[in-house]
Chain A
Amino acid sequence: MKTNDVILQTATKVVFFIIFLFSIHIFFAGHFTPGGGFVGGLLTTGAIVLLLLAFDLKTVQNALPFNFMIVTAIGLLLALGTAASSLLFNIPFFTHAFDDVYLPLFGVSALHTAMAFDAGVYLVVVGSTITMIQTIGGDS
């Protein structure tokens, strides 16, 4: 899928980062305002899809040299690990914990284990959708 569209490519170089940052924002905002790991992951996917449309598969693979299958695996492991970690404290499976913690630079922040679980969701969504897109797109 060789394209040579200067306007699209130039715009993509800027827009990609905007969408990506927005997806990160959406991801973190999730617990209190609309958003979350699922939407965040999809938005990141959308950003990468834009890259794929503007450039070709090879270029994107060089720019983002991850094996997205492994990203999926890490995400699943993170989600399952978060859910299972409560067992270590003899608390039922999937019990979340949260507290307000003072962090340097951020001040008092609400930390929640649901965030780690959501990060797992985020990684799985990005990993598996990009895997699918790359495989289908790369198939000749």
Chain B
Amino acid sequence: MDKTIIELKDVWKIYQMGQVEVPALRGVDLKISKGEFVAIVGPSGSGKSTMMNLVGCLDLPTKGGIYLDGHNIANLDESKLAQIRGQKIGFVFQQFNLIPNLTALENVMLPLAFQGIDDTVAEAKAMKLLDIVGLGDRVRHLPTQLSGGQMQRVSIARALANDPEVILADEPTGNLDSTTGRFIMNFLGKIHKGDSKTIIMVTHDLNLSKAAEKVVHIKDGKVEKIETIRKRGRE
């Protein structure tokens, strides 16, 4: 069970700001096992967003290796990375990031389309996912016709579309009120337990991080400490 799905080995990310080099990550080592719920916590500017981008294959490290399922992605080209993102990673963003001109259904179908899946198959799957997130009656709505919580649920459905191994959630409740936020967090928890997905959540909210099994504290581009939370339900 304790199979490593993501491993960061001495990862450096240095941004060039004019003449100055600004290191965002300075030699991060981290292992995330399959099926884990990990929260990455840190104040703004700590490098957690950078880390999230690297883990999500949205960006490449300046130095070091990122191993996804044992394969180093640090040397892959953009098309390969896109393929990996599409198949193995589902994103849930703070700002939902739905395509405004597409309906909820079309938004959920989009990742499937990028994998070359037939529209009819994709539609059936997207319908099912929207049903699971409780939006079976809102499939033809455009994002602007949905509430924040509903939009986030659409984006969770979208993240699940390709049945990824990892769900990457970047401040998933940051734009939601606390009730809706709790609902979304419960939902992520359900996905984690029910479908045993690996969930990596980036947040600055220590309260939220309590939902995770493992909390990685980032400070100044380094892993400060890793705490493992024992959960009553899990013992």
Q: Do A and B come from one complex?
A: no
Which A residues fall within an 8 A CB radius of B? none
